[in-house]
């Protein structure tokens, strides 16, 4: 177990290091954020001054090392548009995204576990076919379009729910439903497949032969053994969840990290883009690690892999 945790702990910083290289290289291939930021009529002196201030007058490897040293200390430089430390700007926008993603994730998990289990237990019946059909349709809906249609129906036509803002629980309904519709079909299919993988095992037949009631067989024998692939999948979907949040936030004018990042990209606010990507990547790496750890705790086989 200790060895398992140690190996995973060593791999995590490596992923982050690679992410930082990729982001740094891509963002610096454009050359200069300075001309975009200052406009075309800036004086050469002002451009040179800002370039020196941002360290852009040095070679790329030197800049990367400086960048990396900053990342480790949590210093990404000042945001060009907010004129505040970039990390602070990112952290201010983190809360709304995490809350939205959490509500969407819980909703998707409840739906996915219920529908997936129903389909697996009633395999081959109309319930299974219906759930399967809905999942395939759900996988085909672009989340930004669903968001717009939900706004048309529930906000514009029926006036039941607000189109944007996040003051009350009612504001969470539409964006969270949009995110959940995008994740729930995938969870449903994975839950169904993982349960079916286990349901034909000998120990399940044995449990049945012993005369255990069906509910106990499901909870103790089937679910516990089907859990690892489900946990791993949920862990891996967090990147997709956050990606989906980027688009959903745009539709609902949600003041979160996704919209901040898109705005920062279009305004060439490089420090904010870098800080946002590293913070997101850190979140994903930590949650993948947590998923691995949860798996190792649930399933002893994984610890000795």
Partner 1 sequence: MAEEATRAVPVVAPRPRRGRRDTSLLLGLVVLAAIVVLSAAASFVTKHDPVAQSLGDRLLPPMWASGGLARYPLGTDGFGRDALSRLLFGARISIAVGLGAVVLSGVMGTVLGLVAGYKGGWFEGVIMRLSDAQQALPPVLLAIIIVAVFGANIANLTVVLAVSSWVIYARVIFARTVVLRQREFVEAAYALGATTAHILFRHLLPNLWGQIMVISALQAGRMMLLEAGLSFLGLGVPAPAPAWGSMLADARTFVFITPWPAAIPGLAIVLTVWSINLIGEGLRQRYEPRG
Binding site for partner 1 (CB under 8 A): 11, 14-19, 22-23, 26-27, 29-30, 132, 136-137, 139-146, 148-149, 151-152, 156, 192-193, 196-197, 236, 239-240, 242-244, 246-247, 250, 261-262, 265-266, 273, 277, 280-281, 284-285, 288
φ and ψ of 78, to 5 deg: -90, 140
Q: Residue 45 Cβ, how far from partner 1 at the closest point, in Å? A: 27
CB 166 within 8 A of CB 255: yes
CB 291 within 8 A of CB 232: yes
Count of C-beta atoms within a 10 Å radius of residue 95? 13
Closest alpha carbon to 260 in 37, 96, 35: 96
- Toward partner 1, which CB reaches closer, 107 or 247? 247
- Toward partner 1, which CB reaches closer, 166 or 264? 264
- Toward partner 1, which CB reaches closer, 107 or 245? 245
Q: Residue 261 Cβ, how far from partner 1 at the closest point, in Å? A: 7
Q: Residue 88 Cβ, how far from partner 1 at the closest point, in Å? A: 20
- Toward partner 1, which CB reaches closer, 107 or 190? 190
DSSP-derived 3-state class of residue 210: coil
Helix (H) / strand (E) element for 21: namely helix 2-29
- Toward partner 1, which CB reaches closer, 78 or 192? 192
């Amino acid at each position: 177990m200790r060895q398992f945790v140690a190996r995973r702990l060593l791999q995590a910083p490596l992923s982050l290091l690679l992410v930082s290289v990729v982001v740094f290289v891509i963002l610096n291939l454009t050359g200069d954020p300075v001309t975009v930021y200052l406009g075309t009529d800036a004086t050469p002196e002002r451009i040179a001054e800002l370039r020196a201030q941002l360290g852009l007058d040095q070679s790329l490897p030197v800049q990367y090392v400086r960048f990396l040293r900053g990342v480790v200390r949590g210093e990404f430089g000042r945001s060009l548009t907010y004129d505040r430390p970039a990390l602070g700007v990112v952290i201010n926008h983190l809360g709304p995204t995490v809350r939205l993603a959490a509500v969407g994730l819980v909703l998707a998990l409840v739906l996915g576990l219920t529908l997936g289990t129903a389909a697996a237990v009633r395999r081959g019946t109309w319930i299974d076919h219906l759930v399967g059909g809905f999942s395939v349709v759900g996988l085909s809906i672009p989340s930004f379009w669903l968001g717009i249609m939900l706004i048309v129906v529930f906000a514009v036509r029926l006036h039941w729910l607000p189109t944007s803002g996040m003051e009350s629980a009612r504001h969470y309904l539409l964006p969270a439903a949009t995110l959940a519709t995008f994740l729930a079909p995938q969870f449903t299919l994975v839950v169904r497949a993982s349960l079916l993988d286990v349901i034909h095992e000998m120990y399940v037949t044995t449990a049945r032969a012993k005369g255990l009631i069906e509910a106990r067989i499901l909870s103790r024998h089937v679910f516990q053994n089907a859990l690892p692939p489900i946990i791993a999948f949920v862990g891996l979907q967090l990147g997709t969840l956050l990606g989906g949040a980027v688009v959903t936030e745009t539709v609902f004018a949600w003041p979160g990290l996704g919209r901040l990042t898109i705005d920062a990209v279009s305004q060439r606010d490089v420090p904010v883009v870098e800080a946002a990507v590293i913070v997101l990547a850190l979140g994903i790496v930590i949650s993948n690690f947590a998923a691995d750890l949860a798996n190792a705790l649930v399933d002893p086989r994984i610890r000795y892999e």
